[in-house]
Amino acid sequence: MKKILTIIFISFSVVFYSQQKYSGEVFYTISLKTKINSKKNIENSEIQDEAKQKAQSIIKNAIDVVAYLKFTEKESLYRLDESMENDAEKGINLTRIFAGKNEIYYLNNETKVNLLQKNNMIGQFLIIKQPIEWEITQESKQIGNYTCFKAIKKDTISKNKKIIAWFTPQIPVSFGPKEYNGLPGLILQVDNPVVIIKAVEIKLNPKKSVGIKEPTRGEKITEKEYKKLLEDYFPDFNRN
């Protein structure tokens, strides 16, 4: 019964708030969840001191990063905010890698184009993304001024490490950070096994139009084809 009431409330909210057109920009902070546990594991491990120091240095350098999502009624674009990058930062920042370094996520609900532009040592690609299926729960919480509802990525429900999104029907656009989208409201927080993505600033309906361009650089391939390329390039990629 509670779930039915939740769905009715969300549907009513979407109808109510969708009377206004929405566009804007959301800034997210991305934090590495495994930083503390990884540091403890390294300290307690039996690896050599030199390797331990290098590993500790990588973990220490895993500082939070900022990304942004631009959106209109029909399309969105997500990428890291490179202007926030510290030029003095040295070494590998694991958080930046998991947050989407050298990646641009683009979604157009009108044309059904869902792309990830990715650039790495293998090459530059436009990966065709598949939509995510969600299970919306009746659980809710307040994030800033917005009432948000919890959704779980369906193919992770039975797993120990679920992928959870919190979305608000008060901003009735089906967009979110990285590949996380497809819910009846803007996603303000994502909790996956590696990182936590949290919205820290929302700029709604700015006077200046939100400029979004569909990424065009790279070879267009499916997710399955890209995975096969990784397996061919890194033979141990899919092992274990």
**pLDDT tens per residue, range 73-82:** 999 999 998 7
- Measured between alpha carbons, how far is 38 from 31 in angstroms, rounded to an integer? 14
**240: in domain:** no
| CA torsion through residues 130, 73, 142, 95, sign | positive
Shortest CA distance to 140 belongs to which of 9, 20, 15, 232?
9
What is the model's pTM?
A: 0.84
- In total, how many domains does the chain have? 1
Shortest CA distance to 202 belongs to which of 165, 152, 168?
168
**15: in domain:** yes
**CB-based contacts of 197, cutoff 8 Å, min separation 6:** 28, 29, 30, 67, 99, 177, 178, 180, 189, 190, 191
**95: in domain:** yes
pLDDT of residue 113: 97
**16: in domain:** yes
3-state secondary structure of 221: strand
Rounded mean pLDDT, 220-233: 93
Whether 37 shows a pLDDT value over 70: the answer reads no
**94: in domain:** yes
Rounded mean pLDDT, 53-72: 79
**239: in domain:** no
**150: in domain:** yes
3-state secondary structure of 148: strand
Q: Tell me how far apart the terminal alpha carbons of the chain are, to the nearest angstrom.
A: 42
**pLDDT confidence of 87, banded at 50, 70, 90?**
very low
Structure tokens at 59: 């973990």
The domain in which residue 152 lies consists of 2-233
Which DSSP string corresponds to 123-140?
-EEEEEPPPPPEEEEEEE
